[in-house]
Structure 1
Amino acid sequence: MTSDVDAPQALHHSLFTGLWDDAALFPPGNAPMAEAVPAHRLYRTEWFAGFVRYFLVGVAHLPELPPLADGADPLRVVLVAPGGPSTVGPAVRTILDTPGLLLAGIEVAGDGEIGKAVAVLHEHLTEPTAGYVEVRNGAGLDADLDDLAGTYGRPKFRTGGTTAHAFPNEAELAAFVHGCRLRELPFKVTAGLHNAVRHTDPTTGFEHHGYLNLMLATHHAVAGAEPNALADLLAIRDSAELTRMAHELTLPERTRLRGYLTSYGTCSVAEPLQDALTLGLLDEPPHHRD
């Protein structure tokens, strides 16, 4: 971060650096490409630029991106391939052949065939930390995590969507976090984490996990907590309690938890950022305030 960030603020920033992948194109946001790309470029100029990692683009939307590429201001993109490994190769070639686009990573659906997903990451990525494979929830989870251990792929887990069944419950998310910790697998999650604290959406009735809950559950998993204890943390809806717990984390503890929770995809950077400011997890630099 910039040199005007003091030590206490740097401690806060340690939880958020590179936390949000810009998934504006994806549901429920569904931003048009012509709006999402300029918005992402604007994020990169703001005081919170360090908290926003990459621009996520799905294979289906990729043809819309090259006309907006700018060789003078390259866009670091992560290709998302929900259709599986067979769709990755042509899409990667499009990115590599377009001046102004840089391939920062690939996320591919595993669909129970982790070996094929890992092979395509190995083929197209030079950096082994840049590839993620979406794993199954439930009965297939442990097998998927076992197959990923020691490979080119890191696990990605879906934490929400546009239907109620897309949201895992606390025990299911806890099992994923605990499983990653046992295998020493850094991970990311995607969808549904619009806010810091677990809540019920008043419009849809969907049960949303909170990203602060997930951070704290990850911290406790690193410290050796069992899945039941992690599920209890994921269920907390008291923002004051969660904020207190977050403020008590030391810098080494923050660093270790973020070594596991690498990022999460969000269709709105503004929502999680505003929650962090409201809860006092972040403080906007004085010269950026109105």
Structure 2
Amino acid sequence: MTSLSDAATARPAEPALFAGLVDDAAVFPPGNAPLAEAVRLHRVHRASGYAACVGPLLVPASAAAELAGLLEGAPLRVAVIGRPGTPAAEVADAVTLLRQTPGVEVAGVELGWTPDWRATDFGGLPRTLEVPRGPEQEAVVADIAAEASDSVVLQAKFRTGATETWAWPDETELAAFVRTAVDHDLGFKLTGGLHHVVRGTHDGHDQHGLLNVLSAVRWALNGEDVDELAPLLAERDVAVLVPQITRMSAADAAIVRAFFTAYGCCEVTDPLAELTTLGLIQGA
């Protein structure tokens, strides 16, 4: 396979393709950074040459009170996270606390989809609802999409990394999710496992690649079906993927990111450093 340095391009990608793409999930597994250290490092990221690529700091609802006691210096932009199974009321209480805390901007809220998700008021914040896998998924995506509009910011979230209770979704399953979201005109973010720019096996575990996903979303928007998307998600040669990225125009980048809005990564510098090595971005 082609190395990152050998696949480097002299033509950077459209900046909009990576703007605010990588949310800072430092406190979540496998990073598990202490919250104070995560806040400190997030401020470093926000002052760096790659700051434009970094989204908000993701903070568990359970850590809201701790975060409120840590804030000094520049305002901090965060999203409040409730993993599936976390009561919506607990997430709402965390949002209320942080919205009343000077120096905090709450950019959005994320929690697991439940049939009664509409019952909890988050004060107009953008909401991201993590969807299940299997036959129920399409109906859940349709349910979220039914409420999304220009004035109501809603999106789906799908877990791309394995956990103790969630097996790694293969290329076909991820392709089916992308196809379903695009078919329902619904934006989405991904979470877990996207630490590298190209599909590969890392530390003995299969992981999806960021460039694979971006390319697959573009193909899905062109109307390609799951059978065409899955091989692209399975591609392990970064030299095949880089031209897919550099050929995207500003309009292409805008529509791709309207659907694939962000993803959480526990070490944002991992994918950004690889993108820099490839010449696709500058400053990491």
Normalising by structure 2, report the TM-score. Answer: 0.89
Conserved 8 A contact 1:25-1:32: yes
Q: Secondary structure of 1:68's match?
A: coil
Distance, in Å, in 2 between the alignment partners of 1:86 and 1:99 is: 22
Task: Please report how far the alpha carbon of residue 252 of structure 1 lies from its aligned counterpart in structure 2 after TM superposition.
Answer: 1.3
Q: Secondary structure of 1:30's match?
A: coil
In the alignment, residue 223 of structure 2 is paired with which amino acid?
G
Corresponding residue for residue 109 of structure 2: 106
Distance, in Å, in 2 between the alignment partners of 1:164 and 1:249 is: 37
- Alignment of 1:138 onto 2:141: no
In the alignment, residue 249 of structure 2 is paired with which amino acid?
T
Corresponding residue for residue 21 of structure 1: 23
Q: What are structure 2's unaligned runs of at least 5 residues?
A: 1-10
Task: Please report how far the alpha carbon of residue 224 of structure 1 lies from its aligned counterpart in structure 2 after TM superposition.
Answer: 0.7
Conserved 8 A contact 2:26-2:266: yes
Q: Secondary structure of 1:26's match?
A: coil
Matched ranges for 1:264-275 at <5 A: 264-275=263-274
Conserved 8 A contact 2:80-2:108: yes
Q: Secondary structure of 2:69's match?
A: helix
Residues 221, 30 of structure 1: CA spacing in aligned structure 2 closer, same or farther, 3 A cutoff? same
In the alignment, residue 246 of structure 1 is paired with which amino acid?
I
Distance, in Å, in 2 between the alignment partners of 1:209 and 1:49 is: 24
Match of residue 46, structure 2, among 44, 47, 68: 44
Distance, in Å, in 2 between the alignment partners of 1:159 and 1:54 is: 20
For the aligned residue pairs, the C-alpha RMSD in angstroms reads 1.7
Corresponding residue for residue 7 of structure 2: none
Normalising by structure 1, report the TM-score. Answer: 0.87
Corresponding residue for residue 150 of structure 1: 146
Distance, in Å, in 2 between the alignment partners of 1:268 and 1:249 is: 26
Q: What are structure 1's unaligned runs of at least 5 residues?
A: 1-7, 286-290
Relative contact order, higher structure (CA 8 A, sep 6+): 2
Distance, in Å, in 1 between the alignment partners of 2:167 and 2:91 is: 24
Conserved 8 A contact 2:50-2:282: no
Q: Aligned pair count?
A: 267
Conserved 8 A contact 1:84-1:117: no
Higher-helix-fraction structure: 1
Conserved 8 A contact 2:111-2:128: yes
Distance, in Å, in 2 between the alignment partners of 1:86 and 1:64 is: 18
Distance, in Å, in 1 between the alignment partners of 2:78 and 2:261 is: 16
